[in-house]
């Protein structure tokens, strides 16, 4: 018997919650099949079979387990069920077949061995692909060694839209809220659901922020006309050159970086009776997923170009959508940006992400009547966005907070400042 134990999801995490079993007790599994998942207060990780054999489940879905605990065992000496074969032999193509494929291929297109060798795929993923009519040849594997997993087939089946590059990425709601039958008219039922580890951690941090920091919020508004003009004029050339779309986040991250360099206490922490200043700027980006709010980090944002910011946020968005954000992806951060505008929020007071001292809230862009700066005394219709800065008043003075937000407003309304670094 081979023990399957809970791995450590990351430093400081000692307990996890066991998710749903992907394979049943007594079922045959192949090496590297995803058999279950574990959920910590920071990330969700797949548990893979470490050998081929019969699975013996030793823990139940929803159990809270310590790192190192045994969740299952695999009897690698059990007889393989009839009709199945080892992957390392079933997927191999003969040299003659490969050569024949090459000879029959069009002259202008080179056919590699990979084109005729069946992709590595877990048995669960293979069965699901057959049931759902998914072509495995068009699925990119995310498992060890590029192996196609059940999750890969699910994503291929649903053909998800291209990930957005906004600060907040909203994944479709799943779980009890979606699967539960709607309440009948006039019903007075109720139910209780156990909070996930991640949701518990979010609750703890929000309460800690409210109870610990002297939190205050200041507001301003920005005319988005010039940024929208730049995007419209250059988005096609930008995407062609850099391989990623041009969104608003590149501009806002650059604006925040410039403002933090001018007002460093918004990039600092209070540690005991000391103020910890940082010579680097790691911007946390709030990401909404079906599992809760996650805050991956853009490392050294002060060294990134607008294209690098957009590309990195896109990668983090995809990882968040696929539940592949790691503890390292979400550890750290010296300042946070959140975008409630993608949900339609017109104004909000964002809560600090401790131990950080500041968080910028972006909101929906709405056309409003404002004074035309080029024609004083006259009203013009402009695309406006409310900006909110919540800050820790213990370390940041009101004048600094207002100056910080005005600096961001000026940068967004005059985006050439961001390009010229002035």
* Each residue's pLDDT tens digit, 210-229: 888 899 999 999 999 999 99
The larger pLDDT score, comparing residue 90 to residue 322, is at: 322
pLDDT tens digits for 340-377? 988 889 999 999 988 999 999 999 999 999 998 888 88
126 has a pLDDT exceeding 70: yes
pLDDT of res. 301: 94
Q: Is 242 a catalytic residue?
A: no
3 has a pLDDT exceeding 80: yes
Candidates 63, 397, 407, 421; catalytic one: 397
Closest residue by Cα to residue 20 from 63, 84, 77, 49: 63
Share of the chain above pLDDT 70, in %: 78
Candidates 25, 234, 372, 393; catalytic one: 393
Tokens of 176: 């009890």
pLDDT of res. 310: 92
Tokens of 233: 């004029």
CATH code of 197-420, in short, is 3.30.559.10
Q: Domain 87-158 sits in which CATH superfamily?
A: E3-binding domain (4.10.320.10)
Mean pLDDT value of segment 92-107: 42
Q: Pick the range with the lowest mean pLDDT from 71-85, 225-239, 360-374.
A: 71-85
267 has a pLDDT exceeding 60: yes
Mean pLDDT value of segment 155-175: 46
What global pTM score does this model have? 0.62
Per CATH, 87-158 and 197-420 having the same topology is answered: no
| Strand intervals (E) in 261-345 | 269-271, 274-276, 283-285, 287-289, 292-294, 297-298, 335-339
State which CATH number among 3.40.50.360, 2.40.160.60, 3.40.109.10, 2.40.50.100 fits the domain covering 2-75: 2.40.50.100
Cα–Cα distance between 19 and 282 in angstroms, integer?
32
pLDDT of res. 258: 94
Cα–Cα distance between 282 and 74 in angstroms, integer?
43
Q: Is 279 a catalytic residue?
A: no
- Please state, in angstroms and as integers, the Cα–Cα distance from residue 356 to each residue in 268, 269, 337, following that order: 7, 6, 11
Question: What are the helix (H) ranges across 73-214?
Answer: 87-90, 95-104, 123-132, 150-158, 176-179, 197-212
Q: What does the domain layout of the chain look like in residue ranges?
A: 2-75, 87-158, 197-420
Mean pLDDT value of segment 125-137: 74
């Amino acid at each position: 018997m081979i023990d399957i134990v809970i791995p450590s999801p990351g430093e400081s995490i000692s307990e996890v919650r066991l998710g749903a079993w992907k394979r049943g007790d007594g079922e045959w599994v192949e090496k590297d099949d995803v058999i279950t998942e574990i959920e910590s207060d920071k990330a969700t990780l797949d548990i893979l079979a470490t050998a081929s054999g019969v699975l013996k489940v030793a823990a139940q879905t929803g159990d809270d387990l310590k790192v190192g605990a045994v969740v299952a065992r695999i009897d690698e000496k059990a007889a393989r069920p009839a009709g199945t074969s080892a992957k390392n032999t079933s997927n191999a193509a003969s040299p003659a077949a490969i050569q024949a494929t090459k000879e029959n291929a069009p002259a202008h297109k080179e056919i590699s061995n990979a084109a005729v060798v069946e992709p590595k795929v877990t048995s669960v993923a293979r069965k699901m692909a057959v049931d759902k009519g998914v072509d495995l040849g068009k699925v990119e594997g995310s498992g060890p060694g590029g192996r196609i997993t059940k999750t890969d087939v699910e994503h291929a089946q649903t053909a998800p839209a291209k990930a957005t590059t906004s600060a907040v990425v909203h994944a479709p709601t799943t779980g009890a809220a979606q699967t539960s039958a709607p309440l009948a008219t006039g019903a007075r039922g109720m139910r209780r659901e156990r909070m996930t580890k991640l949701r518990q951690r979010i609750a703890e941090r929000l309460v800690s922020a409210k109870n610990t920091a002297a939190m205050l919020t200041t507001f301003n508004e920005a005319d988005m006309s010039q940024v929208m003009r730049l995007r419209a004029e250059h988005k096609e050339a930008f995407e062609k050159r850099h391989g990623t779309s041009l969104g608003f986040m590149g501009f806002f991250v650059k604006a925040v970086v410039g403002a933090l360099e001018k007002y460093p206490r918004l990039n600092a922490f209070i540690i005991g009776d000391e103020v910890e200043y940082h010579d680097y700027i790691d911007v946390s980006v709030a990401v909404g997923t079906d599992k809760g709010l996650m805050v991956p980090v853009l490392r050294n944002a002060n060294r990134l170009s607008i294209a690098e910011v957009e590309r990195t946020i896109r990668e983090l968005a995809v990882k968040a959508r696929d539940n592949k954000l790691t503890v390292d992806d979400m550890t750290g951060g010296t300042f946070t940006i959140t975008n409630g505008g993608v949900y339609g929020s017109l104004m909000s007071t964002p809560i600090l992400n401790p131990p950080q001292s500041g968080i910028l809230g972006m909101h929906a862009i709405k056309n409003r009547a404002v004074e035309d700066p080029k024609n004083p005394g006259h009203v013009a219709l402009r695309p406006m966005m409310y900006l909110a800065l919540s800050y820790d008043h213990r370390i940041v003075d009101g004048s600094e907070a207002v100056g910080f937000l005005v600096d961001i407003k000026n940068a967004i309304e005059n985006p050439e400042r961001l390009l010229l670094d002035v």
